[in-house]
């Protein structure tokens, strides 16, 4: 195994699950490991405490006549459950079939470490970087970056930069370099419907009082019409229509046909808004999703119970120019209006993040495309992403800089799921990409 892979494995072994407070010590240990690594590269490195998980910032010596590039990544990861479905221990990285199997291998440690090693190689080969560099690594991306926005506000002068680069998104297919110029936003909410004061015998009381699980099914169903259009009043008001040039461009992108979506998801059919391709539905249209739903008996066999309550967790993916706070208010009104009779409703508003959209043909955008072409030996495709990285729009609003999304994840890397994996080839291409990127961004 190469020294680069051995080092990545050290980074991957930390179970830095940000959402789970029992892993807070592991998140911290992972941050401390990063500080040691970045310091050893001769970068001036600081660990900043926050209300929860630390932020790590590292920089070279900045000079007045160079471009300043901020590279962002996150060292926290998603939980591993369901554990039983993993083919190897989630935090014991292994290489099989040319892929690194580990939670965080792709999202985001492998991609983030490719940035670090690209910088390290450039420093080794040239003794210096062609740009002023700021590394900004957080441990809270997977929980909505609650402490990073205040950190940006408090440190906006030290973090001022000309452009930002992030590898935390996808490639449309293996070997197809992909530059993202958009991300969907997100808005989360949870609903609890309550009926009787406790679970009831469904024979003795069923028919006399409302069933909260039935009520929840009706409430969930009220979000869409039969064609899949979202029924929340005013939901589409601020949706920016797709541009003709994007639709034309996306027609020729490999890896995103309906057949591709069927193959990678295993679903029996594609489904979505009329008049749009699958890629358009994911990259440029908003959605309303149920992420979890429950209430009543979940065990084996049947149990004749009328549950006391039911819950559902929702997230809405948003596109320019939808505002998460505005959407959450509209959603709240919708839930209140459509709450079935006989139950009481509690709506808990969760975290949110704005959508992002940039011009892929800016000077920095073109520089990034040249770097992608050099690293992968072919011209990149330009896409928007269905996923969200809430801090990216905050970077623009607070630091005034746009972000280049240089994704290295493949559609089957299984991020957030059991058996997350990252091809060794993508890791190596990522290191090379970062070497080219620094050089190209220096030209502007």
Question: Interface residues with ligand BES (CB under 6 A)?
Answer: 107-108, 141-142, 144, 168-170, 186, 353, 385, 387-390, 409
Q: Please report how close the Cβ of residue 300 comes to ligand BES at its closest, in angstroms.
A: 32
Contacts of 89 (CB under 8 A, 6+ apart): none
Q: Please report how close the Cβ of residue 229 comes to ligand BES at its closest, in angstroms.
A: 23
Binding partner at 387 among ligand BES, Zn ion, none, C-beta below 5 to 8 Å by kind: ligand BES
Distance CA 388, CA 353 (A): 8
Q: Please report how close the Cβ of residue 288 comes to ligand BES at its closest, in angstroms.
A: 14
385 binds Zn ion (CB under 5 A): no
Place of tokens 């069933």: 211
Residue 248 buriedness (CB in 10 A; 0-12 / 13-18 / 19+): exposed
Q: Please report how close the Cβ of residue 260 comes to ligand BES at its closest, in angstroms.
A: 15
Residue 74 buriedness (CB in 10 A; 0-12 / 13-18 / 19+): buried
Binding partner at 26 among ligand BES, Zn ion, none, C-beta below 5 to 8 Å by kind: none
Judged by CB under 5 A, the chain residues 107 through 146 that form the site for Zn ion are 107
Residue 40 buriedness (CB in 10 A; 0-12 / 13-18 / 19+): exposed
Distance CA 442, CA 444 (A): 5
Q: Please report how close the Cβ of residue 76 comes to Zn ion at its closest, in angstroms.
A: 9
Q: Please report how close the Cβ of residue 31 comes to Zn ion at its closest, in angstroms.
A: 18
Distance CA 183, CA 405 (A): 9
Provide the residue count of the chain.
Answer: 444
Build a one-symbol-per-residue string for 71-110: x at contacts with Zn ion by CB under 5 A, - elsewhere.
------------------------------------x---
**CA of residue 384 relative to chain centroid, distance:** 13
By beta-carbon proximity to Zn ion, the closer residue of 108 and 435 is: 108
Binding partner at 390 among ligand BES, Zn ion, none, C-beta below 5 to 8 Å by kind: ligand BES
Distance CA 64, CA 396 (A): 22
Q: What is residue 345's three-state secondary structure?
A: strand
Binding partner at 139 among Zn ion, ligand BES, none, C-beta below 5 to 8 Å by kind: none
Place of tokens 């797709």: 242
By beta-carbon proximity to Zn ion, the closer residue of 20 and 329 is: 20
Binding partner at 352 among ligand BES, Zn ion, none, C-beta below 5 to 8 Å by kind: none
Binding partner at 120 among Zn ion, ligand BES, none, C-beta below 5 to 8 Å by kind: none
Distance CA 199, CA 308 (A): 5
Distance CA 79, CA 22 (A): 11
By beta-carbon proximity to ligand BES, the closer residue of 43 and 409 is: 409
By beta-carbon proximity to Zn ion, the closer residue of 132 and 393 is: 393
By beta-carbon proximity to Zn ion, the closer residue of 68 and 78 is: 78
Are 108 and 11 in contact, with CB atoms under 8 Å apart? no
Beta strands in 113-232 (DSSP E): 132-138, 163-166, 178-183, 185-194, 200-201
Alpha helices, DSSP H, located in 222-285 = 244-251, 258-265, 278-284
By beta-carbon proximity to ligand BES, the closer residue of 120 and 140 is: 140
User: How many residues form the binding site for Zn ion (CB under 5 A)?
Assistant: 1
Q: Please report how close the Cβ of residue 36 comes to Zn ion at its closest, in angstroms.
A: 25
Q: Please report how close the Cβ of residue 103 comes to Zn ion at its closest, in angstroms.
A: 10
Q: Please report how close the Cβ of residue 309 comes to ligand BES at its closest, in angstroms.
A: 26
Q: Cα-Cα-Cα-Cα dihedral of 74, 80, 86, 89, to 10°?
A: 80
Binding partner at 385 among ligand BES, Zn ion, none, C-beta below 5 to 8 Å by kind: ligand BES
Binding partner at 170 among ligand BES, Zn ion, none, C-beta below 5 to 8 Å by kind: ligand BES
Q: Which residue is nearest to Zn ion (CB)?
A: 107
Residues forming contacts to Zn ion in the complex (CB under 5 A) are: 107
């Amino acid at each position: 195994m190469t020294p680069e892979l051995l080092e990545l494995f050290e980074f991957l072994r930390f179970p830095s699950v940000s959402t789970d407070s029992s892993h807070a010590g592991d998140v911290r240990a992972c941050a401390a490991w990063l500080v040691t690594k970045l310091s050893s590269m001769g970068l001036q490195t600081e660990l900043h405490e926050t209300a929860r998980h630390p932020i790590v910032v590292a920089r070279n010596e900045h000079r007045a006549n160079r471009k300043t590039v901020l590279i962002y990544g996150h060292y926290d990861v998603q939980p591993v459950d369901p554990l039983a479905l993993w083919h190897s221990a989630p935090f014991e990285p292994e290489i099989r079939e040319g892929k690194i199997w580990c939670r965080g291998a792709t999202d985001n440690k492998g991609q983030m470490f490719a940035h670090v090693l690209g910088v390290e190689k450039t420093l080794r080969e040239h003794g210096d970087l062609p740009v002023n560099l700021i590394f900004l690594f957080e441990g809270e991306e997977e929980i909505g970056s609650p402490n990073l926005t205040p950190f940006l506000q408090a440190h906006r002068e030290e973090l001022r930069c000309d452009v930002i680069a992030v590898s935390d998104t996808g490639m449309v297919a293996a070997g197809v370099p992909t530059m993202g110029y958009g991300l969907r936003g997100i808005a989360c909410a949870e609903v609890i419907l309550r009926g009787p004061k406790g679970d009831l015998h469904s024979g003795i009381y069923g028919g006399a009082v409302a069933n909260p699980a039935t009520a929840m099914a009706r409430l969930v169903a009220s979000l869409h019409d039969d064609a899949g259009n979202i029924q929340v009043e005013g939901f589409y008001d601020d949706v920016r229509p797709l541009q003709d040039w994007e639709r034309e461009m996306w027609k020729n992108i490999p890896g995103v046909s309906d057949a591709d979506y069927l193959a990678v998801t295993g679903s029996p059919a594609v489904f979505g808004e009329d008049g749009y391709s699958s890629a358009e539905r994911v990259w440029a249209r908003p959605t309303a999703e149920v992420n979890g739903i429950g209430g009543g008996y979940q065990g084996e066999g049947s149990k004749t119970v009328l549950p006391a309550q039911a819950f559902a967790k929702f997230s809405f993916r948003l596109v320019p120019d939808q505002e998460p706070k505005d959407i959450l208010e509209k959603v709240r009104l919708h839930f209140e209006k459509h709450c079935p009779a006989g139950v009481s409703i509690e709506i808990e508003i969760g975290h949110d993040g704005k959508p992002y959209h940039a011009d892929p043909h800016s000077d920095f955008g073109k520089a990034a495309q040249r770097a992608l072409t050099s690293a992968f030996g072919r011209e990149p495709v330009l896409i928007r992403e269905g996923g969200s990285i809430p801090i990216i729009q905050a970077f623009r609003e607070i630091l005034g800089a746009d972000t280049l999304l240089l994704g290295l994840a493949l559609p089957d890397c299984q991020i957030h799921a059991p058996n997350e994996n990252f091809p060794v080839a993508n890791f190596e291409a990522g290191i090379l990409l970062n070497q080219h990127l620094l050089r190209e961004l220096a030209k502007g």
